[in-house]
Amino acid sequence: MKNKALNLRRSERRLNKLRLYSAQKDKTMTQVIEDFIDSLKLENGDSALRAAPLTSTPRPVKPTV
């Protein structure tokens, strides 16, 4: 799987909240966002997508605060 970049505009408050949540769950921010995306339910999704494996990017956990 080829990795793609995603740039997000967010407030500093939300960024800090994501950093704190990631540290508390011992996950990277990428893993938290990927887990959220994987949890989204699609009403009229492609049946091939429903059977696709859910993956998470393994990365060492050392969040920069």
Is 49 contained in some domain? no
Tens digits of per-residue pLDDT, 23-65?
Answer: 999 999 999 999 999 999 988 766 556 666 666 555 555 656 5
Domain range enclosing 16: 11-38
Give the per-residue pLDDT at 65. 56
Is 26 contained in some domain? yes
Is 4 contained in some domain? no
Would you list the DSSP string of the chain?
Answer: -----------HHHHHHHHHHHHHHT--HHHHHHHHHHHPPPSS--HHHHHSPP-----------
Is 52 contained in some domain? no
pLDDT of residue 11 exceeding 70 = yes
Tens digits of per-residue pLDDT, 14-31?
Answer: 999 999 999 999 999 999
Is 27 contained in some domain? yes
Selected residue with higher pLDDT from 11 and 47: 11
